[in-house]
Structure 1
């Protein structure tokens, strides 16, 4: 459409363009020295750079610098306490209380419902009333306890109130076991992730080391920020901890990210690609910088108007 040929070249210093000796290095310096006609790359729009080059509008896209870190799993699937996790302690207390009370209640209901025929059978068998009560309490206690483990009743109630009581108990047990099983499966399947910090201020007060690649405009903005500002304190934290945190190789940062308590500063688009490969990684919702990126041309270049019309 524009009908031109091109030659692709790269800056010798491999940089985008940062201020140096009243000029710029990298791609911005190439445009300023008229070594190239157009920068077909995502240059961050900056007021300082605009004095040495011109941008092609509208911007290509908007990017942000984020904090990438490793989440930690607070749960332990090999812990015996995981079996008690599906319910709150109050649920276990209530169930245990009813398991102790209901055998007594069922015994009382069955005793009050004794008819003459049953009394005659007891006398013929030489079984006292007290002995029958003790036997019923013992039997019903085991029955109610066994029902929690899905075991049936050895002695079925004969009275209507007793049958209603046992039926209600079985329905409650059915609901409890279903909910317990579902929650236990979820506890084994899902991770309970812990986020060590929720914003930059908490990151600065944590034990995490912080690193970034020492290139680009974001690096320059953080480096030149006022020491009392949030970004200035972020820079002090990076440089005062270990200068090795300013590695130019992103793979070094990723290895340390997965191995140590480490936070890595990089652009959101790159962080999204890394998180897609490892679900243990996450980014802070708070952005460090927002940047609009666009192509660039030389100052007063006739290509600017032509390209912006496309």
Structure 2
């Protein structure tokens, strides 16, 4: 039996006859016309893009206000207003009950507002309340303010120390629109064949762009993959090709990144000439090897992928949402409830004594 090592196109161009081809053989409808692909397939891969990431950090001033989500800011503002109003009610009631004073609502409001804001900023404020109801609300607000300010401060430190990675593009459509990055692929290859014959809008557009750019820069359709990898290392270039080739080159170089969304899926398989008497025997053997796990073991050995932990970036800082700090609101609500109950009790007791 004659075995051909390499691409099937080589046997067709050189008119070499063989019973089995061994190489990077991608299942494609054009090849189906002249050969039979054995089942099951050996490996499923996809076409992706490999590029070198820029060392650009996001340093927007908005990072200082994106610590909390908008609903958290609105909730803090809302409870600040409500607590200030409750302070005014409690303070005026306590002064009348315990001191016989009737202070201006505006003066009490200013004092209460200053206290609520200063507490959130963790600034010491002398705010004394007569009666148990005032003490409840003061303690509750201090606990709430400490939790809020601590959460903001901790996340602000993380925001300033953890660098957010900004990807230049996520898919082929964004890559085409990118003004900073160029892209290319090997021609002739199965990848270029897929790009030429595709019905996908973005892939078809990418091929048109490539053909146009190749008129002034033939390197984007260079037949040598080493030249494409060289341009990737130079920066601002994305090499479109088979995922397992790209991952093999990527290795442990954490400056090289893969495009998030695949362009197309590919199946790698053994191929034999159509009508070969060996097809049934080979497929039967391949089926048995697949059942006993031999194919899966070979797949792990032949197509090694990078451990995602090797280049895991620092944990990204997510904005604090309401669920993360809801305990602070629950504590404040509980303290407010006790304060109102205490205030009502004080009013009842005071009215009873007057009688």
TM-score band, normalised by shorter chain: 0.5 to 0.7
2:143 aligned with 1:171:
yes
The structural deviation recorded for 1:252 is 4.4
Q: Verify the 8 A CA contact 2:50 2:258 in the aligned structure 1.
A: yes
Answer yes or no: is 1:85 the counterpart of 2:66: yes
Contact 1:139 1:154 in 2 (8 A): no
- Structure-2 residue corresponding to 1:218: 191
Partner of 1:44: 26
Equivalent residues in 2 for 1:57-72 (5 A)? 57-68=39-50
Q: Does 1:247 align with 2:222?
A: yes
Query: Which deviations, in whole Å up to 9, do the C-alpha atoms of 1:29-49 show, x marking residues without a partner?
Result: 46x423x55322232234544
Structure 1 equivalent of residue 244 of structure 2: 269
Q: Unaligned regions of 5+ residues in structure 2, if any?
A: 286-355
- Structure with higher helix content: 2
Structure-1 residue corresponding to 2:261: 285
8 A Cα contact 1:275 1:282, kept in partner? no
Offset of residue 62 of structure 1? 2.8
- Offset of residue 265 of structure 1: 1.2
Q: Given the superposition, is the C-alpha separation of residues 48 and 251 from structure 1 closer, same or farther in structure 2, using an over 3 Å criterion?
A: closer
Secondary structure of the structure 2 residue equivalent to 1:59 = coil
Q: Is the 8 A contact 1:144 1:153 kept in 2?
A: no
Report the counterpart of residue 236 of structure 1 in structure 2. 208
When the two structures are aligned, how many residues end up with a matched partner? 278
Q: Secondary structure at the match of 1:44?
A: coil
Alignment partners' CA distance in 2, 1:88 and 1:220:
47
In structure 2, the residue matched to 1:126 is none
**Alpha-carbon distance in structure 2 between the residues aligned to 1:82 and 1:46:** 49
Instruction: Name which of 164, 186, 192 aligns with 1:191.
Output: 164
Displacement of 1:303 in angstroms is 4.9
**TM-score after normalising by structure 2:** 0.58
3-state SS of paired residue (2:95): coil
Q: TM-score, normalised by structure 1?
A: 0.64
Aligned Cα root-mean-square deviation (Å) = 4.6
Tell me, which stretches of 5 or more residues in structure 1 are unaligned? 19-25, 123-128
8 Å CA contact 1:28–1:53 kept in 2: the answer is: no
